[in-house]
Amino acid sequence: MTGRLAEVQARIGSVDQISAVIAAMRGIAASRSREAIAQLDGIRAYAAMIGGAIGSALALVSDSDRPAGAAADGDAVIVLCAEQGFAGAFNERVLDVVAGLPAAAPRALLVVGSRGLAMAQERGMPVAWSAPMAARAGQVASLANRIAAALFQLLDGGAVARVAMVHSTPAAADIPGVAMKQLVPFDFRRFPPSRNLVAPLLTMPPRRLLAGLVEEYVFAEICEALMLSFAAENAARMRAMIAARSNVAKTLDSLRAQSRQLRQEEITNEIIELASGALATR
């Protein structure tokens, strides 16, 4: 009986430690999600500024002078997944959307996130490039630069003509949303040409300026998607930790009840032994 009680008490100590780890992971995930969401306003303000510059540049070029897409017949999809585990079905939902896209042309995947990469390879998806997901919000800009460099290398090499991006978005409900955005061909209709009567001073040809602004805007879109995905990943991890903590609490309650029962049985046995000894003495 004593051995069983000691075993249960040891298990209670182990589960208590697990509960503390879960609480810490939940706090870290919540902090990272809030930090990422707080960065979004700055990214969107930057994208709006670049968009205004694109509108001004469009007023200086004709439709035929706008940057044209690559003369290729291939698709690329940038897939933003999770780097770490304990995020529920986060990666599955993103990859399910990618798997459901129509495949009218050869497709190459640019996968961000080690967990998503492993799952994409298990599904037999054609991964052309991969990188780890940012571990902190401050690493997003550097990662966006790497993604943009790989993307423009594919476009310059004539390997692809169309590029889309699939990523999760934070949601108030338990299930995060999944968004898809078309990056290439670039949609100039989003930016009405400027109606300013005074033309801006330029130090380069308008066509070259417009091409550079387009690349900068694509970079801003990648930054925004990375930050949204990072926030959604940590929000999913936070919800998973809440569910895990609830299960751990139930386990602790059960173990403590079992410990009290064993302790009571032990006390009862001791009383019986003492009473039996007293009767034998008489």
pLDDT tens readout for residues 25-51? 888 888 999 999 999 999 999 999 999
Set out the domains of the chain in order of their start, with CATH numbers: 27-238 (3.40.1380.10)
In the three-class reduction of DSSP (H, G, I as helix; E, B as strand; rest coil), residue 166 is classed as: strand
Lowest mean pLDDT of 127-136, 178-187, 251-260, name the range: 251-260
Mean pLDDT of the chain: 85
Cβ contacts of 265 within 8 Å, gap of 6 or more = 1
pLDDT digits (tens, 9 = 90+) for 93-127: 999 999 988 765 567 899 999 999 999 999 999 89
What integer pLDDT is reported at residue 220 of this predicted model?
97
| Residue 182, beta-bridge partner list | 164
Burial class (CB in 10 A: 0-12, 13-18, 19+), 173: exposed
pTM, full prediction: 0.82
236 phi and psi, to 5 degrees? -65, -40
Residue 173 has pLDDT above 80, yes or no: no
